[in-house]
Structure 1
């Protein structure tokens, strides 16, 4: 038997924080790729410390639904699960073999997925996208450089693809701030994509309010200062993320048919 465990941060204050974890777990569960699929969290129940009690399989694949490698993926998760080290790693304990993978946000398929969703959010043709700009928004932190490096890497690769006129990176808690990046963009049509796991206070209120654009509940489009600004859903809510979780597990050795696709993930 083989089991999949998807780990999310969770929140005691916002129920939407865990929604993507449950949605992607449900999609993978329905595919029948694993005998068991479980969810666990740092800030919600079921907790990481109890998740192995919920699993019967002796071969377990642990995939963190996080954006970057950093404090949580390299320290908190290995500590809470009693793993031998950060990803990629294999731990043998209590008669089980536990494979721990890198987070979904560092997967090489991320730039193509973001570009595709950005075009779809704005309803742009390929030609229109080449005349538009794209800003990938990260949370950022001065405490861990790895937190921002994945955002920069994905932005560089997305820019090199040539789908949009320019692709830039903006942050909430470090320079360059997203508002400054938006002001510097030359394009009159700009798409904003939050590189966040879930909808929450930042994506629903902080970002739109700071930028003076519509909140998601109102409209994904804002006409402002002669510009059209489109605001996409957070990356972690995209249905294709379930396929990336599946690919992470396969990379670690999970017996998953190569041609298996999950939900809308056929294009990943």
Structure 2
């Protein structure tokens, strides 16, 4: 038997923080054509909510367990907290007659640009753009304490840039340079698409970002420019398949023979 364990951060203050994990787990349970045969069990757990990741392995019956952190980038939680709480030795752990495969976070996975582009397609469906240039801005949280936090945003920007879909692909952050407001103000394009590379909705996506950018909603029309603001990448339905693919890759990476 095979199990998928999706690990989210969770929050005591924001009920929406855990919702994408539950949504994607539900979608995966309903998929009949998953890679490598799918999963017999799909389980959710969290750091700041119940069910707790510390006890999740006690609820899993399968001998093969694939753990996927629902995080965008490598950092303190993926490198220290999750391995500690789950008792992992590294990418592969053998314990209590189980083989546990630990996958990396989602943001650096090769399929993430496809999810970002699907989020953009949903945002732009039925909306009119101005004549002229169209620029994409990927928005990350950022932090001066962890370079990996910003690196994954730059990685996805470069991957999308190589596809030559937009006239420009830029990055901006909340807590480090380049600051998102200055990026959007300075970019030379008549149409600007802003996509938060976040896992869940929350205070930043609903309050601080729209306030900082002076947005009216999904579409903000200004003199000579229209700004399109999408929801977080992590809430898009296509993330479910990405999570399943991330797990399957972790297993194939360590397959014998």
Paired position in structure 2 for 1:46: 51
TM-score relative to the length of structure 2:
0.91
Number of positions where the alignment pairs a residue of Structure 1 with one of Structure 2: 246
Superposed, 1:46-65 pairs within 5 Å as 46-65=51-70
Paired position in structure 2 for 1:7: 7
Q: By how many angstroms is 1:113 displaced? A: 2.5
Change (3 A) 1:25 1:116: closer
Cα RMSD (Å) of the superposition?
A: 1.8
Superimposed CA distance per residue, residues 150-186 of structure 1 (whole angstroms, 9 cap, x where no aligned partner): 0011111111211111010000000000000001111
Q: By how many angstroms is 1:70 displaced? A: 1.3
Paired position in structure 2 for 1:26: 26
Paired position in structure 1 for 2:73: 68
Paired position in structure 1 for 2:35: none
Q: By how many angstroms is 1:129 displaced? A: 9.9
Gaps of 5+ in 2: 33-37, 253-257
Paired position in structure 2 for 1:84: 89
> Which of residues 236, 239, 252 is equivalent to 2:237?
239
Q: Is 2:35 aligned against 1:37?
A: no
- Corresponding residue SS for 2:215: coil
Q: By how many angstroms is 1:239 displaced? A: 0.7
Choose between structure 1 and 2 for higher RCO, CA contacts under 8 A separated by at least 6 residues.
2
Paired position in structure 2 for 1:262: none
Distance 1:133 1:250 in 2: 34
Q: By how many angstroms is 1:225 displaced? A: 3.7
Paired position in structure 2 for 1:263: none
> Which of residues 224, 227, 234 is equivalent to 1:226?
224
